[in-house]
A and B are shown apart, each in its own frame.
Chain A
Amino acid sequence: MVLEIEDIKKLIPQRFPFLMIDRVLEASPEKVVAIKNVTASEQFFKGHFPGQPIMPGALVIEAMAQTGIILYKQKFANDKVLFLVSVKSRFLKPVIPGDQMMITVEPIKMMSRMGIFNAIITIEDRKIAEAEIAFGSQDAKSI
C-alpha cells in the first residue's frame, strides 16, 4: 500500500517544517518502508552547518520515529499522541542534500499504549543509520 503525502498527514501529526517523510512505499503491521528526499532547501541546512550542509542526526531519528508512527497506526487506529522514550542509534554516514533516505521499520513489540521497533535507513542500498526506538502514549504510565 503506497501512501502519498496527504495520506501520511492523516496518520501523523507533524507538519512543515517538521514532516520528515515524503512517501510511504509499503505499509503493514509487520513492516513500513518510507522515503525522505533531502533537498538543499531544507531549513536546517541554513544553520547545520553554514557552508557544510549535513542533516542533523536528531532529525534522521525523527524520520525513523515518524515512520514508526505509521507502523503503530497499521495496528492501532487511534488518535493517541506518541512520545519518544528511548533511542539506541548508530550513524554510519552523514546525510547531505540530494540524498534519498529509505527508512524501514519493523516492530519488536507493538502494544496499544507503547512499543519498541527497529529502524534502518539506507541511501542507494547502503545502510547509513540504524536504531532501536521505544515510544509510549500519554496513558502508558497507568499500567
Chain B
Amino acid sequence: MAPSIKDEILEIVATVIEKEAGDISLDAHLVQEVGADSMMALEILAALEKKYHIVVPEERLKEMTTVNKIIQMVETARKRG
C-alpha cells in the first residue's frame, strides 16, 4: 500500500526538523512546541512544492503551524491544481 499523504508529509516535516516522525503530534504547534523555525518552514514548503507539484504563495507560510494544517493546505492546493 502506498504511504498516505499524512505519512508522507509527516516524514518531510520530521526530516527537516530532525526529529522522529513518531514524536511529532499532528496538532502540535511546530514552532512553539516542536522547535521548528521560519527557515525550516521554508524548507518544508520547498519540499512539498517539489513533491506535489504545487505552488504555495508566501502569505500562506504563516498558516503552516501544525502538521494537520500543512496536510489541509496541500490538499487544497492539489484540488486547485
Contact = CB atoms under 8 A, between A and B. Distances in A.
Q: How large is the interface on A (under 10, 10 to 19, 20 to 34, 35 or more residues)?
A: 10 to 19
9 closest Cβ contacts across the A-B interface?
A109-B46, A143-B38, A111-B58, A85-B39, A108-B46, A116-B46, A114-B42, A140-B38, A143-B62
A115 B58 CA distance: 10
Contacts of A108: 46, 50
B58 A112 contact: yes
Nearest to B45: A109
Interface of A: 85-86, 108-109, 111-116, 134, 136, 140-141, 143
Interface string B50-76: 100000001001100000000000000
Contacts of A109: 42, 45-46, 49
Nearest to B42: A114
B39 A140 contact: yes
21 contacts: A85-B39, A108-B46, A108-B50, A109-B42, A109-B49, A111-B42, A111-B61, A112-B58, A114-B38, A114-B42, A116-B43, A116-B46, A134-B39, A136-B39, A140-B38, A140-B39, A141-B37, A141-B38, A143-B38, A143-B61, A143-B62
Interface in B8-61: 37-39, 41-43, 45-46, 49-50, 58, 61
Contacts of A143: 38, 41, 61-62
Given A143-B61, A143-B62, A114 B46 contact: no
A46 B46 CA distance: 40
Given A114-B42, A143-B41, 12 more contacts: A85-B39, A108-B46, A109-B42, A109-B46, A111-B42, A114-B38, A114-B39, A116-B46, A134-B42, A140-B38, A140-B39, A141-B38
Contacts of B43: 116, 134
A114 to B, nearest CB: 5
A115 B42 CA distance: 7
